[in-house]
Amino acid sequence: MSLTPRAVVIHRRTEFEELVAGHGTRQQAAFFLRTRGRTLEEVEARHAAQLEASTLVAGAIPLEWRRGRVERADLGRFIFGAEDVVVAVGQDGLVANVAKYLDSQPVIGVNPEPARNAGVLVTHSPAGVGDVLGTLATAHVQSLTMVRAVTDDGQTMLALNEIYLGHASHQSARYRIQPPGEGGERQSSSGLLVGTGTGSTGWCRSVWLERHSSLDLPRPEQASLCWFVREAWPSPATGTALTEGTLGPEEGLLVVAESDLVLFGDGIESDSISIGWGQGVTFSIASRPLRLVVSKQRSSASASQQTANPKPS
């Protein structure tokens, strides 16, 4: 007998909640902002939008379903079940934050502020969640490629957008890099990014644009990764020949540390892996994708765009 589905609603503290927590009271937070020429009303309005969206989502969950609610900071301590349906209410980054903790559970992204959020991953309105949950069995699901990093002692990290490897501070990262089919190169740089097609609209794309790269960035559902070395420094001992590339299925990018480095995914520095001198880490396509529930119109438009344009717009 299978378990009743559980809707797990993911959220993060709003700016308003963080301000009040930091200053003790609403009045103290308002005074702090007023002395800097700002008002509390602007963050209160966004807080109200988040609360309204959360209320609509809670009301849309079928009565017979079980329920769970998790704040972003607690994701690493929450145990997801196979029968869970994940509902992320917030910015696009919230979907990326939860992705590495899942194992094929469907994710519904809900956008509480379409005027502020791009809606790349949070594609549904709060009012439309009920219809999505009611037709989940026949919903259109995008399988978004994820990136994996595995250290030589077995530690693993997954990410939906990108994984960063570099020094914990602003010092130079020193390592030896070996792309597939290359001889390898010793480098000193500001770090390394290995990203997916989803991440190719963010941090990786900014590097791609800045250096006017001719590299074809992958699409979100494509089994391909891109990688970029940031600000490689030429010296008698370090080179700059291997600073970007792509990885296909069964291909790996090996990096061997020659200084103390850290590894973190999707911008969450608090959830990192430390890499010591001489330790190796291999980047590759993750074995499991993120299953993002999207509208039929979104799915059709995505397929048409991918056929017409191999690079993300």
**Concatenated DSSP letters of 156-186:** EEEESSEEEEE-SSSSPEEEEEE-TTS--EE
Residue 74 has pLDDT above 50, yes or no: yes
With CA atoms as reference, report the closest residue to 95 among 108, 112, 81, 105: 108
Compute the distance between CA of residue 65 and CA of residue 59 in angstroms, rounded to an integer. Answer: 12
Instruction: Give yes or no: residues 12 and 122 share one domain.
Output: yes
- Whether residue 32 is contained in a domain is answered as yes
The confidence score (pLDDT) of residue 248 equals 95
Instruction: Give yes or no: residues 207 and 179 share one domain.
Output: yes
- Whether residue 73 is contained in a domain is answered as yes
Q: What is the pLDDT of residues 22-63, one digit of tens each?
A: 999 999 999 999 999 999 998 999 999 999 999 999 999 999
Instruction: Give yes or no: residues 119 and 163 share one domain.
Output: no
Compute the distance between CA of residue 217 and CA of residue 132 in angstroms, rounded to an integer. Answer: 31
Residue 238 belongs to domain with CATH number: 2.60.200.30
Compute the distance between CA of residue 50 and CA of residue 44 in angstroms, rounded to an integer. Answer: 10
Instruction: Give yes or no: residues 23 and 127 share one domain.
Output: yes
The confidence score (pLDDT) of residue 313 equals 35
The confidence score (pLDDT) of residue 307 equals 36
Compute the distance between CA of residue 99 and CA of residue 80 in angstroms, rounded to an integer. Answer: 11
Residue 284 has pLDDT above 90, yes or no: yes
Q: How far, CA to CA in Å, does 306 sit from each of 43, 119, 215, 219, 311?
A: 37, 18, 16, 7, 8
Question: What are the E-state strand segments in the chain?
Answer: 6-11, 66-71, 84-89, 106-110, 140-144, 147-151, 156-159, 162-166, 173-178, 185-189, 192-195, 225-229, 244-247, 253-257, 261-265, 272-275, 280-285, 290-294
Residue 51 belongs to domain with CATH number: 3.40.50
Residue 156 has pLDDT above 70, yes or no: yes
Domain limits for position 243: 147-285
| pLDDT (mean) for 290-299 | 78
Residue 303 has pLDDT above 50, yes or no: no
| pLDDT (mean) for 154-163 | 95
Mean pLDDT of the chain, nearest integer: 91
Instruction: Give yes or no: residues 125 and 200 share one domain.
Output: no
Instruction: Give yes or no: residues 273 and 200 share one domain.
Output: yes
- Whether residue 59 is contained in a domain is answered as yes
Q: Kindly report the length of the chain.
A: 313
The confidence score (pLDDT) of residue 182 equals 83
Instruction: Give yes or no: residues 10 and 125 share one domain.
Output: yes
- Whether residue 241 is contained in a domain is answered as yes
Residue 169 has pLDDT above 60, yes or no: yes
Instruction: Give yes or no: residues 151 and 263 share one domain.
Output: yes
| pLDDT (mean) for 277-291 | 96
DSSP notation for 97-120? HHHTT-SS-EEEEE-S-TTTS--S
The total of structural domains in the chain comes to: 2
pLDDT confidence of 312, banded at 50, 70, 90? Answer: very low
Instruction: Give yes or no: residues 230 and 280 share one domain.
Output: yes
Least confident interval from 32-41, 179-188, 221-230, 303-312: 303-312
Cα four-point dihedral sign 257, 223, 80, 112: positive
- Whether residue 222 is contained in a domain is answered as yes
What is the amino acid identity at position 245? G
Counting beta carbons within 10 angstroms of the beta carbon of residue 72, is it exposed (0 to 12), middle (13 to 18) or buried (19 or more)? middle
The confidence score (pLDDT) of residue 209 equals 94
- Whether residue 116 is contained in a domain is answered as yes
pLDDT confidence of 20, banded at 50, 70, 90? Answer: very high
End position of a domain, from candidates 81, 108, 138:
138
Residue 304 has pLDDT above 80, yes or no: no
| pLDDT (mean) for 250-267 | 94
The confidence score (pLDDT) of residue 302 equals 52
Token couple for 57:
């989502």
Compute the distance between CA of residue 98 and CA of residue 11 in angstroms, rounded to an integer. Answer: 10
End position of a domain, from candidates 108, 138, 168:
138
The fraction of the chain above a pLDDT of 90, given in percent, is 82
The confidence score (pLDDT) of residue 306 equals 45
Instruction: Give yes or no: residues 181 and 271 share one domain.
Output: yes
pLDDT confidence of 292, banded at 50, 70, 90? Answer: very high
The confidence score (pLDDT) of residue 296 equals 62
The confidence score (pLDDT) of residue 299 equals 53
- Whether residue 156 is contained in a domain is answered as yes
Instruction: Give yes or no: residues 126 and 83 share one domain.
Output: yes
Q: Is 124 helix (H, G, I), strand (E, B) or coil?
A: strand
Residue 100, C-beta contacts closer than 8 angstroms, at least 6 positions apart:
146, 157, 158, 159, 160, 265, 266
Compute the distance between CA of residue 127 and CA of residue 256 in angstroms, rounded to an integer. Answer: 49
End position of a domain, from candidates 138, 171, 189:
138
Chain centroid to CA 231: 23
- Whether residue 300 is contained in a domain is answered as no
Residue 298 has pLDDT above 80, yes or no: no
Residue 308 has pLDDT above 50, yes or no: no
| pLDDT (mean) for 151-178 | 94
pTM, two decimal places: 0.86
